[in-house]
Amino acid sequence: MFASIEYTKYFQLATSLASIFYTTAQFAHQIRVLNKEKQQIKTLSMATLGLFIWRSFILGSRILIFILFASLFKYWLFVVVGLHYLLMFVLVFYQLRYKPVRKKRIILAVYSIVTPFIYIFDYCMNWLDGPTRYWYVMCYVPMYCENVLMSALGLWYASTTPTPAWYLVPGCICVIVMFPLGILVQLAYYRFWHLKAPMPIKLVTNRIPFEQSEATQDSIPWTTWDDFRAIVEARNDDTTTRNHLHINPKRKSEQNVN
């Protein structure tokens, strides 16, 4: 009887985690559903499978290391989470500079406060239009560094404790390995299964003209920071972008007519 209760708990835990992973993976799909003009992601497709595996590895590694670290070092987890929240708050505040303020201040305030909490686990929502590769880098690099640091402390604890828990070392190793695997699946998703794939591999070294950015930004996987920033500005503030890129509005209107 007690064995069946234990198995039931494990089953409930597995289904709960699977539900979280699936919900996170479906976020991109739901965003496209709200915009009927965008091409939709099919429920049964390699894109959906790639999204699920990618998010499962990233989110799973964060949940696992948080549990292991909290079991060993207790309240020190709040220090790690607090520092990451501050970093993500700075990122969100920086992102809002590119978006014209058309929302009420209370909405912006709630977004600025709540979104960094979500970014503690994964970068799964974005206020801005346009490419996201550098936003992922800004979120994933500190996230993985934190995972490695907490895993290293866990391995150190296991090496200095006479009888550590059997799951401690395998768990820390899984955390270190799962995150890069998730990144590899993410790269495969954007290369093969994304709605804009396949994408030619190019390195952009010159600023992309405004007229060409709309046609090329989703097909260029690597760009410089200046090019990336110019594209984000173009997607989110046409007036600022025209002044920044020195585009002649009359010429652009003539092109639109043609």
Distance, CA of 68 to CA of 150 (rounded, Å): 9
Based on the domain organization, do 237 and 190 belong to the same domain?
no
Based on the domain organization, do 173 and 111 belong to the same domain?
yes
Based on the domain organization, do 49 and 60 belong to the same domain?
yes
With respect to residue 135, please indicate whether it lies within any of the assigned structural domains. yes
Q: What token pair was written down for 23?
A: 């919900």
Based on the domain organization, do 255 and 128 belong to the same domain?
no
With respect to residue 46, please indicate whether it lies within any of the assigned structural domains. yes
The pLDDT assigned to 44 comes to 66
pLDDT for 3-16, tens place per residue? Answer: 566 667 667 767 77
Based on the domain organization, do 224 and 110 belong to the same domain?
no
pLDDT for 30-85, tens place per residue? Answer: 655 555 555 556 666 787 888 889 989 999 999 999 999 999 998 999 999 999 99
Among 198, 217, 241, the domain boundary falls at 198
pLDDT for 187-231, tens place per residue? Answer: 998 888 876 654 444 434 444 444 444 444 444 456 788 888 888
Contact 197, 221 (CB under 8 A): no
The pLDDT assigned to 102 comes to 65
Based on the domain organization, do 217 and 180 belong to the same domain?
no
With respect to residue 69, please indicate whether it lies within any of the assigned structural domains. yes
The pLDDT assigned to 225 comes to 86
The mean pLDDT of 229-239, rounded to a whole number, is 78
With respect to residue 111, please indicate whether it lies within any of the assigned structural domains. yes
The pLDDT assigned to 152 comes to 96
Based on the domain organization, do 176 and 209 belong to the same domain?
no
The pLDDT assigned to 140 comes to 95
Distance, CA of 183 to CA of 119 (rounded, Å): 16
Based on the domain organization, do 193 and 209 belong to the same domain?
no
Q: Tell me how far CA of residue 122 lies from CA of 179, 192, 252, in angstroms.
A: 11, 22, 38
Q: What token pair was written down for 2?
A: 């007690």
Q: What token pair was written down for 41?
A: 């992601």
Based on the domain organization, do 230 and 192 belong to the same domain?
no
Among 198, 221, 249, the domain boundary falls at 198
Distance, CA of 169 to CA of 89 (rounded, Å): 32
With respect to residue 257, please indicate whether it lies within any of the assigned structural domains. yes
Among 198, 217, 246, the domain boundary falls at 198
The pLDDT assigned to 210 comes to 40
Q: What token pair was written down for 68?
A: 């292991």
Long-range contacts of 145-152 (CB under 8 A, 24+ apart): 146/80, 146/84, 147/61, 147/62, 147/65, 147/175, 147/176, 147/179, 148/176, 149/80, 150/65, 150/68, 150/69, 150/80, 150/175, 151/65, 151/68, 151/175, 151/176
Based on the domain organization, do 257 and 167 belong to the same domain?
no
With respect to residue 12, please indicate whether it lies within any of the assigned structural domains. yes
With respect to residue 36, please indicate whether it lies within any of the assigned structural domains. no
Residue 182's closest CA among 65, 56, 62, 47? 56
Residue with tokens 């497709």, as numbered in its chain: 45
Question: Domain of 206?
Answer: 199-258
Residue 60's closest CA among 115, 117, 21, 88? 21
Please indicate whether residue 90 or residue 45 has the higher confidence score (pLDDT). Answer: 90
With respect to residue 192, please indicate whether it lies within any of the assigned structural domains. yes
Distance, CA of 52 to CA of 46 (rounded, Å): 10
Based on the domain organization, do 167 and 221 belong to the same domain?
no
Phi, psi (deg, nearest 5) at residue 222: -125, 125
* Domain count for the chain: 2
The pLDDT assigned to 58 comes to 93
Based on the domain organization, do 94 and 151 belong to the same domain?
yes
The mean pLDDT of 101-105, rounded to a whole number, is 68
Residue 147's closest CA among 155, 157, 158? 155
The pLDDT assigned to 128 comes to 82
Is pLDDT of 253 > 60?
A: no
pLDDT for 140-189, tens place per residue? Answer: 999 999 999 999 999 999 999 888 888 999 999 999 999 999 999 999 98
